[in-house]
Amino acid sequence: MLQVFFAALISLLGLSFSVHSFFYEKKNFILIISLMIFSITSLFYWYISVFVLILFAFYKHYDFGEFASLNMFSAVLLSWFFLNLFQTKIAIPFFLIAMLCLVLMSILSIFGIFENRLKRYLMVSNFIQILFVVLDLSVTMIKGEMGILSVIQIFNYTFTGLLFFLTLWIFGRKKTFIHELEGSYFQSRSNDIFATIACLSLAGLPAFNMFVSEWFLFTGSFILTPIITILGIFIALLLFIMYYKIVYVLLVGEGRQKSIPEPITVVNGLLAITCVILGILPSLQIELLSLVLA
């Protein structure tokens, strides 16, 4: 069932990026098809998933769509890799891994707050969310049970991260620095609202789906040790500052309205609605993921 779950996440990525690539970067189809083939293969041979990281060596040469696709596919594939790795019989110091994740997330969050290069900022954001997945899995393994915590982070991040990358693809094409996003609100108000929803969700605010992931993590880890919960809340505060920077930049400045293909706005809107519904109705998440783990 887990293979079907991850196949569904991969299909969602492929479909969403294909719609945007059709209008913005048709050459991105080559990378999407390659990532889809590699991803499906990885579902049967999980240990090859980690090799997706090799493609990041060339990230400066990717167009925005290629860069966004690679980041989101890598998040799903690495989650699949760590999920399988942690279930092997290899002796893994899960508590040390959890603490290392917290330290790295703290450093990267501070780095992200001051980072002004758009691609580097997005890569840092993606890496932080992957570390959240590893942290969730570490806490799960310490508890000794494969519960909802083991998959809830990547489930929510697939929707929110995808929305984040796709909306910034609209405003950030051919741009290098974050401050160049100023005035985006006037270019497409609806997509700016969708981008804001993605940012607030990634920041872990209540009423959005990523908050549910963090709630499961903090409550589950507090039973084991308050240290993880306390550091996790500190990181959540840093992430709020980090992601609110994008919300602020999108709203300030001046810009002219530009035509956005309707299918793109529809896809982004559906993702935004999903992020809100899953946040307002956490029981829906629990039921869906319980079926996956059954």
DSSP state string for the chain: -HHHHHHHHHHHHHHHHHHHHHHS-TTHHHHHHHHHHHHHHHHHSGGGGGGGGGGGGGGGGS-HHHHHHHHHHHHHHHHHHHHHHTTSSS---HHHHHHHHHHHHHHHHHHHHH--BHHHHHHHHHHHHHHHHHHHHHHHHHHTS--THHHHHHHHHHHHHHHHHHHHHHHHTT--BGGGGTTHHHH-HHHHHHHHHHHHHHTT-TTSHHHHHHHHHHHHHHHH-HHHHHHHHHHHHHHHHHHHHHHHHHHSS--------HHHHHHHHHHHHHHHHHHH-HHHHHHHHHHHH-
**267, 37, 292, 22: which is closest to 159 by C-alpha?**
267
pLDDT of residue 144: 80
Structure-token match 């992200």, residue found: 112
Give me 167's structure tokens. Answer: 């909306």
Q: What is the pLDDT of residues 64-104, one digit of tens each?
A: 999 999 999 999 999 999 999 998 878 889 999 999 999 99
Q: Rounded to whole angstroms, how far apart are CA atoms 219 and 147?
A: 13
Tokens representing residue 86 in the block? 């942690």
Could you tell me how far CA 236 lies from the centroid of its own chain? 15
The chain-wide mean pLDDT, for the chain, equals 92
106: its two tokens:
């703290």
Q: How many whole angstroms separate alpha carbon 236 and alpha carbon 220?
A: 16
Question: Is the predicted pLDDT of residue 254 greater than 90, yes or no?
Answer: no
- Percent of the chain with pLDDT strictly greater than 70: 100
| Sign, CA torsion 168/169/173/176 | positive
* pLDDT at residue 139 in the model: 93
Average pLDDT over residues 257-264: 88
**Residue type at position 211:** F
Residues making up the chain, counted from first to last: 294
Q: Which two tokens stand for residue 89?
A: 């019989």
Which pLDDT band holds residue 30 (cuts at 50, 70, 90)? very high
pLDDT at 6 over 90: yes
How far apart are alpha carbons 176 and 285 in whole angstroms? 36
Alpha carbon of 253 to those of 10, 179, 186, 214: distances in Å? 36, 10, 9, 33
- Confidence grade of residue 224 (pLDDT, cut at 50, 70, 90): confident
What is the structure's pLDDT at 18?
A: 96
